[in-house]
Structures are given as C-alpha cells and as structure tokens.
Chain A
C-alpha cells in the first residue's frame, strides 16, 4: 500500500488539502467520491507509516559487517 513511495509528510499534506477542500466546498459533487477514496488511501498510508515494519535487520547487519 506504500504506493508512489509517498513520504508521510507528502501524504499528510495531500490529505489536509483534500479535507480543507471538502470543508470549503471547493470540490464538485462529481469529484467528491474520488477525493474521499483518495483521502481514505492517504490515511491508510499514514497509518501504515506509523505501524508497519520497514527495517531489514539483516541489511543492517550486512552493512555493519562490510564496514569492518
């Protein structure tokens, strides 16, 4: 789900934009469902960033070894 290699910051920024667009009514009804889908995906991305495992311990060990 880490599509586009979005950083947390970028994802959150985009999410904020969508929310404020919906708040201010700047989104047309046609776009609403698309935007909401996108917002849900962005929330998922952000949540994943907070909870997912990314670090490959084996990689750290290999890098440590190759430096010694």
Chain B
C-alpha cells in the first residue's frame, strides 16, 4: 500500500501564503471596529479587528500597523478627527490581506481614512441632535430657571485636572470674596468611559438636588482628545433632562459637542464658566454698590429738597402773613378813614340840622309865644265878657227859682199831707194786730208760719196766736184739700 502524499506544515503554510498572495494581490478598503489597538513598546500596533452583530462579535481578525505607518496614520487621523485612534472605534482601513506561518491570516494596515471616522462622528452628533429634537427635549435644560444666586455648585470633574483647579481658584479668588459652595463629583471626562461615568454622577446629584443650584461639568488641560463622548445620545439626554441647570466648561477648540449645545450654558473653558458665574454675582452686587453710593446722595438730596421746601413754605407763609397784615391794616385804615369821614359828615350835617332847628326853634317859639299870648289875652277878654254875662244870667235864674219856690211851696205841703194820710190808713189795714182783731189767727210750728211750703204733720205741736191769747195745739189729722 502506497503511503499517501504528505506535506510538512511549512509546505502547507507556504502554499497558503502563495495562494493568498496571488489571490489577494491588491489592497482593499475594509470597515471594521478596532476592538483593541495593542500598541507595543517598539511602536508597532497589533489591533484586534472585529465585526459585531447584535452586540456580539461574529468575526475577529488580527491587524498589524508597522511603526512607520502608525505614526503617519495617527498624526493625520488626529489632525482631521481631533481624536486619537482608540479602542472601540469604527474605522475604514486600507489593508493588505497577509498570511504569516506563525501569526496566521491577518490584515496589514497601510492606512486609515480619518474622513470616514469624522463622518461617522458627525453623523452621530447629527443623529443625537435630531433625536433629542424629535423627543422635544433639545432645549429642556435651557428652559429651566437658574437660581438668582447660583452659589451651590455640584462640580463633575477630576480633582487633579487643571480645569477644576482653575475653576475653583477663580471662583474663590474674586476680590469681593463671593462665596461659592462647591462639591466635587469625580468622573472620567473623556473617551467612552466618560458617558457612564458622568451619567452615574448626575444620578447621584439628582438624589440630593435640593443641596444645589446648578451642575458644572469641568474639563480642562486634557487637550483635544476623546471629546466624541459628548455627542453621545444617552449622555446628552441625561444632561438635557436634568432637573438643575447644567453648565459645561469642557475646553476644546473643535465644533461644539451636543452636550455643550443643549447645556443650560456653555463656557469655552472652565475659566470662562467661572467668569460667567462670577459675572452673575457681580451683576447682583453692582446695583448694591450703586445703591450704597446713591443712598446717601438720595438722602441728602431728599433732605435738601425737604429743607428747601420748608424754607419756601416759610417764606411763602411770611409773605402771606405780611400781605394779610398789610391788607388788614389797609382795610382798618380805610374803615377808620371812612368812619372819620362819615362821622365828620354826620357831625356837620347834625350841626347844620341843629343850627337850623335852633333857628327854627328860635323863630317858631317867639312866634308861638306871641300867638299864645294873643290867644290868652283873647281868652281873658272873652272870659271877662262871658263871666259877667254868665254871672248875670245865673243870678237871674236863681232869682226866678226863688220866686217860683216861694209861689209853689204851700201847694206842695198840702198834697204831701194828703198822701201821708192815705198811707197811714193802708198801713193800719195791713197791721197783723188789726188782722187778728178781725178773727184771724197765726198758726206756727217749730219752723215758722204754716204755709204751702211749711205743711204740718199729724202729731206735731202747733202754736196758735189769736188777738186775745196764744194756744198750743196738737194736730190730729191733716189733708191737703182746700175745702
């Protein structure tokens, strides 16, 4: 039995090498994720290239970048992408497929296209922005209201970074000695690790958010590398939706990252952010200083105004009083003058009147006396004349009377005597004695003479007076009949 043909391993390897070299004689552009760069001390790199599907590796190949290539590739990449080559990047490799008896199939990397990576990063940035916009949270953080005095700051940074120390030094070094309460939450600030690191610290801060007015993410002195994490959707969203204003100062000179765009406020550098915060304090403080200057001036001005006003009032009052006094004086003087004038006028008028009256009296009294005297004289004359005749007449009438009396006296006496006699006869007829003598009696009881008004009752004692005697009788019976 003929033994089958056999090859040495070296022959097999050589055959494969030849086949591959012939089959893959040209170079190819291949996209792959650089899982690990694996740079040696000599400067060569042996990156692990992988392809993932649903987060699990489905292909893995070894890559090789020789030192002389790597330096060139690295420099060009950094210039364009502003990022160093680092693990986990999706890259476009210019490769030659090689076979090495010891290292097996591999890809010799001649070049890496930085524009592909840049495009991918810019795409990620664009996609993040669009997604935040779609979800309506693009301006969520910017729409928050910053505390009026944002002095309690949660700082996400690294204790040993220049950016952090610059920031804190500036805040505490203001000549007016403004006081900020800062509390550091340490985190990784660049590369992919930053995404979860910063998010974790944001979660811690959120739990005690009542202690803070704002969050400040500070990064400085780290150069221009590893900034693409700030375009990451998850981190951007965490910042956009954070309940406190998030301020960023992650100094770099490339395009603004999404985190910086959606933050409440972005400072180009940590110092810029510190100045921004100090400016808020200064803007609050300036009016206070102004007031401190203005207040004494205002008070002085106010007092001056009050003093002037008072002086003016006093002057005005004085003038008013003087005017009033003057007016009253004039008024009084006028009144006095007027009074004097009237009095004088009245006096002269009265005097005139008096003298007129005097004259009148003088003239009229002498005239009246004259007339009265004449009247009297007349009367005296008349009296004398009348008196004489009156006396004469009286005398005559007395004489007449006397004569008449003398003639009528006897006749008068006679008729009077006759009248007297007649009266005597009538008197005699009326005398009760005469009546008793004619047989009548006077019957009386206790009350007096019996009559219609004084009737006697049975049993009463009666007194009966007759011409001859007086009897006492008792009534036996009484009736009112007249017959």
The residues of A with any CB-CB pair to B shorter than 8 Å are 7-9, 12, 15, 19, 22-23, 25, 27, 29, 32, 36, 39-40, 43, 46-47, 49-55, 57, 59-60, 63-64, 67
Contacts and interface: CB of A to CB of B under 8 A. Distances in A.
Contact of B183 (A9, A51, A55): A55
18 contacts: A8-B284, A15-B288, A19-B294, A19-B295, A22-B295, A25-B305, A43-B291, A49-B151, A50-B281, A50-B285, A51-B178, A53-B181, A54-B181, A55-B211, A59-B211, A64-B204, A64-B208, A67-B208
B369 interface: no
A27 to B, nearest CB: 8
A60 B183 contact: yes
Nearest to A9: B148
A42 B291 CA distance: 11
Q: Is the interface of B mostly helix, strand, loop or mixed?
A: helix
B306 interface: yes
Interface of B: 148-149, 151-152, 176-179, 181, 183, 204, 207-208, 211, 281, 284-285, 287-288, 291-292, 294-295, 298-299, 302-303, 305-306
Given A8-B149, A36-B295, A50 B211 contact: no
Nearest to A47: B288
Given A50-B151, A50-B179, 19 more contacts: A8-B284, A12-B287, A15-B291, A19-B295, A19-B298, A22-B302, A25-B302, A29-B303, A32-B302, A36-B299, A39-B295, A47-B288, A50-B284, A51-B176, A51-B179, A52-B179, A55-B183, A55-B211, A64-B207
Contacts of A29: 303, 306
A15 B397 CA distance: 135
A52 B180 CA distance: 8
Nearest to B147: A8
A63 B208 contact: yes
Contacts of B177: 51
Contacts of B284: 8, 12, 46, 50
The 7 closest A-B pairs by CB, nearest first: A55-B181, A63-B208, A67-B207, A22-B298, A8-B149, A51-B179, A9-B148
A27 B281 CA distance: 30
B292 A43 contact: yes
Given A12-B284, A39-B291, A39-B295, A57 B183 contact: yes
A12 B305 CA distance: 26
Given A32-B302, A36-B295, A57-B183, A46 B288 contact: yes
Given A8-B284, A19-B294, A63 B302 contact: no
A53 B179 contact: yes
Contact of A63 (B178, B211, B287, B298): B211
Contacts of B298: 19, 22-23
Contact of B207 (A52, A53, A63): A63
